[in-house]
Amino acid sequence: MKHLSVLLFALAYLCWAPNVVAEEDDELGYEVGPDTYKENPEYDDWNYLVAFPMIWAPSINGSIDSEGEILDIEIPFSDIFKNLNFGVIGELYAQKGKWLYSLRLDYMHVSSSTDTEGLTGPLTGGIIAPAHRIETTIQMAANDLLVGYELYPGLRLLTGVRHIYAKVDLAVSPLSDDGFIHIDNKFNISKTHDFDWLVGVTYRYWFSDDWGIAASVDTKIYGDNDRDRGFNAQAIYRFGGLHNVWIGYRYLEIGNDSVENGISTKVDFIQHGPQLGWAFTF
Protein backbone atom coordinates (compact mmCIF):
# COMPACT_ATOMS: atom_id res chain seq x y z
CA MET A 1 0.00 0.00 0.00
CA LYS A 2 2.88 2.30 0.84
CA HIS A 3 4.44 1.74 -2.61
CA LEU A 4 1.08 2.47 -4.29
CA SER A 5 0.77 5.76 -2.40
CA VAL A 6 4.27 6.80 -3.48
CA LEU A 7 3.47 5.93 -7.10
CA LEU A 8 0.22 7.92 -7.05
CA PHE A 9 2.02 10.89 -5.52
CA ALA A 10 4.72 10.74 -8.21
CA LEU A 11 2.14 10.63 -11.01
CA ALA A 12 0.25 13.55 -9.49
CA TYR A 13 3.45 15.56 -9.22
CA LEU A 14 4.41 14.89 -12.85
CA CYS A 15 1.01 16.14 -14.00
CA TRP A 16 1.03 19.16 -11.67
CA ALA A 17 4.68 20.31 -11.90
CA PRO A 18 4.64 21.57 -15.54
CA ASN A 19 1.68 23.83 -14.66
CA VAL A 20 3.60 25.23 -11.71
CA VAL A 21 6.65 25.94 -13.92
CA ALA A 22 4.45 27.59 -16.52
CA GLU A 23 2.83 29.77 -13.84
CA GLU A 24 6.24 30.77 -12.51
CA ASP A 25 7.41 31.65 -16.02
CA ASP A 26 4.29 33.79 -16.55
CA GLU A 27 5.02 35.62 -13.30
CA LEU A 28 8.57 36.27 -14.46
CA GLY A 29 7.40 37.32 -17.90
CA TYR A 30 10.07 35.12 -19.48
CA GLU A 31 9.95 32.58 -22.29
CA VAL A 32 12.51 29.76 -22.27
CA GLY A 33 15.41 30.11 -24.72
CA PRO A 34 16.99 33.09 -26.49
CA ASP A 35 14.20 33.29 -29.07
CA THR A 36 12.21 36.11 -27.51
CA TYR A 37 12.21 37.89 -24.19
CA LYS A 38 9.85 40.10 -22.29
CA GLU A 39 10.96 43.07 -20.22
CA ASN A 40 11.58 42.07 -16.62
CA PRO A 41 14.39 43.64 -14.58
CA GLU A 42 14.02 40.93 -11.93
CA TYR A 43 15.17 38.16 -14.29
CA ASP A 44 18.85 38.34 -15.23
CA ASP A 45 20.11 34.74 -15.38
CA TRP A 46 22.11 32.94 -18.10
CA ASN A 47 20.02 31.06 -20.65
CA TYR A 48 21.21 28.88 -23.54
CA LEU A 49 20.03 27.46 -26.83
CA VAL A 50 21.84 24.75 -28.80
CA ALA A 51 20.76 24.19 -32.41
CA PHE A 52 22.09 20.77 -33.41
CA PRO A 53 21.70 18.75 -35.50
CA MET A 54 20.92 21.06 -38.40
CA ILE A 55 20.68 20.42 -42.14
CA TRP A 56 21.45 23.01 -44.77
CA ALA A 57 20.90 21.96 -48.39
CA PRO A 58 22.67 24.72 -50.33
CA SER A 59 23.34 25.13 -53.99
CA ILE A 60 26.41 27.10 -55.02
CA ASN A 61 26.21 29.79 -57.68
CA GLY A 62 29.12 31.90 -58.76
CA SER A 63 30.50 34.14 -61.44
CA ILE A 64 33.97 35.21 -62.52
CA ASP A 65 34.08 38.48 -64.48
CA SER A 66 37.41 39.22 -66.12
CA GLU A 67 37.40 42.32 -68.28
CA GLY A 68 33.83 41.68 -69.38
CA GLU A 69 34.31 37.97 -70.01
CA ILE A 70 31.91 36.28 -67.58
CA LEU A 71 32.11 32.65 -66.49
CA ASP A 72 29.02 31.42 -64.63
CA ILE A 73 29.33 28.59 -62.11
CA GLU A 74 26.41 26.53 -60.84
CA ILE A 75 26.67 23.53 -58.53
CA PRO A 76 23.27 22.09 -57.49
CA PHE A 77 22.82 20.57 -54.05
CA SER A 78 22.37 17.11 -55.59
CA ASP A 79 25.99 17.24 -56.79
CA ILE A 80 27.20 18.52 -53.42
CA PHE A 81 25.31 15.78 -51.56
CA LYS A 82 26.61 13.10 -53.93
CA ASN A 83 30.24 14.09 -53.32
CA LEU A 84 29.94 15.11 -49.67
CA ASN A 85 32.51 13.45 -47.40
CA PHE A 86 31.66 15.28 -44.19
CA GLY A 87 29.65 18.28 -43.11
CA VAL A 88 28.54 19.87 -39.87
CA ILE A 89 26.40 22.87 -39.05
CA GLY A 90 25.23 24.10 -35.66
CA GLU A 91 24.55 27.16 -33.56
CA LEU A 92 25.01 28.05 -29.88
CA TYR A 93 23.35 31.02 -28.18
CA ALA A 94 23.80 32.36 -24.64
CA GLN A 95 21.86 35.28 -23.22
CA LYS A 96 22.08 37.25 -20.00
CA GLY A 97 19.65 40.12 -19.71
CA LYS A 98 19.61 42.11 -22.94
CA TRP A 99 22.99 40.76 -24.15
CA LEU A 100 23.14 37.82 -26.55
CA TYR A 101 26.29 35.89 -27.53
CA SER A 102 26.23 33.46 -30.44
CA LEU A 103 28.54 31.03 -32.22
CA ARG A 104 27.48 29.69 -35.65
CA LEU A 105 29.47 26.91 -37.31
CA ASP A 106 29.28 25.64 -40.88
CA TYR A 107 31.85 23.23 -42.38
CA MET A 108 31.73 21.17 -45.55
CA HIS A 109 34.23 18.69 -47.04
CA VAL A 110 33.47 17.70 -50.64
CA SER A 111 35.48 15.58 -53.07
CA SER A 112 34.93 14.46 -56.64
CA SER A 113 36.93 12.69 -59.34
CA THR A 114 37.05 12.51 -63.11
CA ASP A 115 39.03 10.38 -65.54
CA THR A 116 40.85 11.77 -68.57
CA GLU A 117 41.45 10.00 -71.85
CA GLY A 118 44.87 8.61 -72.66
CA LEU A 119 47.18 10.17 -75.25
CA THR A 120 48.26 8.08 -78.24
CA GLY A 121 50.80 8.72 -80.99
CA PRO A 122 49.47 10.12 -84.30
CA LEU A 123 51.40 7.64 -86.46
CA THR A 124 51.76 4.34 -84.66
CA GLY A 125 48.84 4.70 -82.28
CA GLY A 126 51.09 3.73 -79.38
CA ILE A 127 50.23 4.97 -75.91
CA ILE A 128 52.17 8.08 -74.92
CA ALA A 129 50.31 8.77 -71.69
CA PRO A 130 47.68 6.57 -70.03
CA ALA A 131 44.38 7.82 -68.76
CA HIS A 132 44.68 9.74 -65.48
CA ARG A 133 42.33 10.27 -62.58
CA ILE A 134 41.93 13.80 -61.26
CA GLU A 135 40.54 14.08 -57.73
CA THR A 136 39.40 17.43 -56.40
CA THR A 137 38.90 18.05 -52.69
CA ILE A 138 37.23 21.18 -51.39
CA GLN A 139 36.97 22.23 -47.75
CA MET A 140 34.81 25.24 -46.93
CA ALA A 141 33.76 26.83 -43.64
CA ALA A 142 31.88 29.95 -42.58
CA ASN A 143 31.94 30.54 -38.82
CA ASP A 144 30.44 33.51 -36.96
CA LEU A 145 31.18 34.81 -33.46
CA LEU A 146 28.63 37.52 -32.68
CA VAL A 147 27.44 39.74 -29.85
CA GLY A 148 23.93 41.19 -29.82
CA TYR A 149 21.99 43.72 -27.77
CA GLU A 150 18.21 43.79 -27.50
CA LEU A 151 16.96 47.22 -28.52
CA TYR A 152 13.29 46.24 -28.39
CA PRO A 153 11.61 42.94 -27.42
CA GLY A 154 12.57 40.55 -30.20
CA LEU A 155 14.77 43.08 -32.07
CA ARG A 156 18.54 42.87 -31.64
CA LEU A 157 21.54 44.66 -33.09
CA LEU A 158 24.45 42.29 -33.86
CA THR A 159 28.16 42.72 -34.46
CA GLY A 160 31.07 40.32 -34.58
CA VAL A 161 33.51 38.40 -36.76
CA ARG A 162 32.96 35.97 -39.62
CA HIS A 163 35.75 33.53 -40.50
CA ILE A 164 35.78 32.19 -44.07
CA TYR A 165 38.00 29.17 -44.74
CA ALA A 166 38.53 27.65 -48.16
CA LYS A 167 40.99 24.99 -49.28
CA VAL A 168 41.15 23.34 -52.71
CA ASP A 169 43.45 20.36 -53.35
CA LEU A 170 44.08 18.49 -56.60
CA ALA A 171 45.48 14.96 -56.91
CA VAL A 172 46.50 13.42 -60.26
CA SER A 173 47.36 9.73 -60.68
CA PRO A 174 47.75 7.40 -63.71
CA LEU A 175 45.24 4.58 -64.19
CA SER A 176 47.83 2.24 -65.72
CA ASP A 177 51.58 1.81 -66.30
CA ASP A 178 51.24 2.10 -70.07
CA GLY A 179 53.11 4.82 -71.94
CA PHE A 180 55.99 6.87 -70.69
CA ILE A 181 54.29 10.05 -69.37
CA HIS A 182 52.90 9.50 -65.91
CA ILE A 183 51.75 12.21 -63.52
CA ASP A 184 51.37 11.17 -59.93
CA ASN A 185 51.26 14.20 -57.66
CA LYS A 186 49.17 16.31 -55.32
CA PHE A 187 48.73 20.06 -55.63
CA ASN A 188 47.29 22.69 -53.32
CA ILE A 189 45.38 25.11 -55.53
CA SER A 190 44.41 27.53 -52.77
CA LYS A 191 44.14 27.87 -49.03
CA THR A 192 42.70 31.00 -47.45
CA HIS A 193 41.65 32.21 -44.02
CA ASP A 194 39.64 35.43 -44.31
CA PHE A 195 38.10 37.47 -41.50
CA ASP A 196 35.35 40.08 -41.79
CA TRP A 197 33.82 42.41 -39.21
CA LEU A 198 30.01 42.21 -39.47
CA VAL A 199 27.04 44.27 -38.38
CA GLY A 200 23.45 43.13 -38.61
CA VAL A 201 20.01 42.88 -37.05
CA THR A 202 17.78 39.99 -36.08
CA TYR A 203 14.10 39.91 -35.22
CA ARG A 204 11.90 37.19 -33.74
CA TYR A 205 8.17 37.26 -33.20
CA TRP A 206 5.89 34.70 -31.59
CA PHE A 207 2.31 34.39 -32.87
CA SER A 208 1.48 31.99 -30.05
CA ASP A 209 3.20 29.90 -27.41
CA ASP A 210 4.11 27.36 -30.09
CA TRP A 211 4.64 29.22 -33.40
CA GLY A 212 7.02 32.01 -34.29
CA ILE A 213 9.15 33.48 -37.07
CA ALA A 214 12.69 34.82 -37.17
CA ALA A 215 14.80 36.74 -39.66
CA SER A 216 18.32 38.14 -39.64
CA VAL A 217 20.54 40.04 -42.05
CA ASP A 218 24.22 40.95 -41.82
CA THR A 219 26.91 42.58 -43.92
CA LYS A 220 30.62 43.19 -43.77
CA ILE A 221 31.86 46.66 -42.84
CA TYR A 222 35.59 45.87 -42.79
CA GLY A 223 37.76 42.85 -43.55
CA ASP A 224 39.51 40.66 -46.08
CA ASN A 225 36.59 40.13 -48.47
CA ASP A 226 35.17 42.89 -50.63
CA ARG A 227 31.63 41.55 -50.23
CA ASP A 228 30.25 39.46 -47.38
CA ARG A 229 26.47 39.36 -46.89
CA GLY A 230 24.15 36.92 -45.18
CA PHE A 231 20.41 36.43 -44.69
CA ASN A 232 18.36 33.92 -42.70
CA ALA A 233 14.59 33.41 -42.39
CA GLN A 234 12.94 30.76 -40.24
CA ALA A 235 9.62 29.45 -39.03
CA ILE A 236 9.84 28.08 -35.49
CA TYR A 237 7.70 25.47 -33.80
CA ARG A 238 8.13 24.95 -30.05
CA PHE A 239 6.96 21.87 -28.19
CA GLY A 240 7.53 20.44 -24.75
CA GLY A 241 8.65 23.80 -23.41
CA LEU A 242 12.32 23.22 -24.25
CA HIS A 243 12.34 21.90 -27.82
CA ASN A 244 12.21 23.86 -31.07
CA VAL A 245 12.07 22.89 -34.75
CA TRP A 246 13.48 25.42 -37.23
CA ILE A 247 12.47 25.41 -40.90
CA GLY A 248 13.85 28.14 -43.08
CA TYR A 249 16.16 29.49 -45.74
CA ARG A 250 19.78 30.63 -45.60
CA TYR A 251 21.77 32.82 -48.01
CA LEU A 252 25.48 33.67 -47.94
CA GLU A 253 27.39 35.73 -50.53
CA ILE A 254 31.17 36.18 -50.63
CA GLY A 255 32.87 38.29 -53.30
CA ASN A 256 36.27 39.77 -54.12
CA ASP A 257 37.77 42.13 -56.68
CA SER A 258 41.39 41.98 -57.81
CA VAL A 259 43.75 43.42 -60.42
CA GLU A 260 46.70 41.33 -61.64
CA ASN A 261 48.93 42.23 -64.57
CA GLY A 262 46.53 45.02 -65.48
CA ILE A 263 43.55 42.63 -65.70
CA SER A 264 40.58 43.29 -63.39
CA THR A 265 38.75 40.26 -62.02
CA LYS A 266 35.52 40.11 -60.02
CA VAL A 267 34.63 36.85 -58.29
CA ASP A 268 31.34 36.16 -56.45
CA PHE A 269 30.10 32.95 -54.86
CA ILE A 270 26.65 32.41 -53.33
CA GLN A 271 25.48 29.55 -51.13
CA HIS A 272 21.71 29.42 -50.68
CA GLY A 273 19.09 26.83 -49.83
CA PRO A 274 16.56 25.46 -47.35
CA GLN A 275 17.47 24.69 -43.76
CA LEU A 276 16.02 22.33 -41.14
CA GLY A 277 17.13 22.02 -37.54
CA TRP A 278 16.27 21.06 -33.98
CA ALA A 279 17.10 23.32 -31.04
CA PHE A 280 17.18 22.67 -27.32
CA THR A 281 16.87 25.43 -24.72
CA PHE A 282 18.08 25.26 -21.14
pLDDT at 72: 63
pLDDT at 138: 79
pLDDT at 216: 94
SS (HEC) of 140-169? EEEEEEEEEEEEECCEEEEEEEEEEEEEEE
Q: Is the peptide bond before 58 cis (omega within 30 degrees of 0)?
A: no
Q: Spell out, as residue ranges, where the chain has pLDDT lower than 70.
A: 1-44, 61-77, 79-81, 83-86, 123, 125
pLDDT in tens, 56-97: 777 776 666 665 666 566 666 676 667 666 677 888 999 888
pLDDT at 29: 34
Show me where the domains of the chain are located: 1-29, 31-281
pLDDT in tens, 107-146: 888 777 778 787 777 767 677 778 888 887 878 889 999 9
DSSP state of 10: H
pLDDT at 217: 96
* Residue 240 burial (10 A CB sphere; 0-12, 13-18, 19+): exposed
**In this structure, which CATH number among 1.20.58, 2.30.30, 2.40.128, 3.90.1690 belongs to the domain 31-281?**
2.40.128
For the range 228-231, what are the long-range contacts, defined as Cβ-Cβ under 8 Å and sequence gap of 24 or more? 228/162, 228/164, 228/196, 228/198, 228/253, 228/254, 228/255, 229/253, 230/162, 230/198, 230/200
Which H or E run includes 95? strand 84-96
Assess contact for 242 and 49: CB atoms under 8 A: no
